[in-house]
Structure 1
């Protein structure tokens, strides 16, 4: 099944009023000086988490670290395609991460 991921990413971020989508060709979100979600050119979606949460979600979701341009993005977890069907759950993860980043010292 083909999914228009840029449109879906926009719909996901639109459900999160505390932050906005950025980037023209590679959509991303950022807060407090930290990028925390990204849609790469391959249409893969990654969310940044703290080290502890990152390891838990990799196991829970049955996934791996997120890569962009062939490089592993430190702190990012690849969101499995099966999870794209539930935007409300993804909103929960984005908001959880936003709260975490807002607790850090601004960059």
Structure 2
């Protein structure tokens, strides 16, 4: 998916959730409680940070591949497969799970 298409999906996805806002101009991301929990990398891939339990569930449904940004594997992040980028309802559920996960961590 090209940059404009993924940004459109991401902006729509984030706009549907009143708990957080999109941040970042060149590297779009969401954060709460001092932690990022989603971002789009330079390869135009979306990653969402999930708890271990949610990562296991995501893996069973979609295959939890590692998410990389700037060549580094992002711990606790799953790479969102391109096939899921058209399902804003399911993506919204996982983005909310990411938000809940970082809110459960000690504030930074």
> How high is the TM-score relative to the length of structure 2?
0.90
Q: CA deviation at 1:57?
A: 1.5
Relative contact order, higher structure (CA 8 A, sep 6+) = 2
| Whole-Å separation in 1 of the counterparts to 2:21 and 2:29 | 9
> RMSD of aligned C-alpha atoms?
1.6
Aligned length: 107
Q: Which ranges in structure 2 are unaligned for 5 or more consecutive residues? A: none
Residues 1-107 of structure 1 correspond to what in structure 2 (within 5 A)?
A: 4-107=5-108
Runs of 4+ more than 3 Å apart:
none
Q: Is the 8 A contact 2:30 2:38 kept in 1?
A: yes
Q: CA deviation at 1:102?
A: 1.3
Q: Which ranges in structure 1 are unaligned for 5 or more consecutive residues? A: none
> How high is the TM-score relative to the length of structure 1?
0.90
Q: CA deviation at 1:29?
A: 0.2
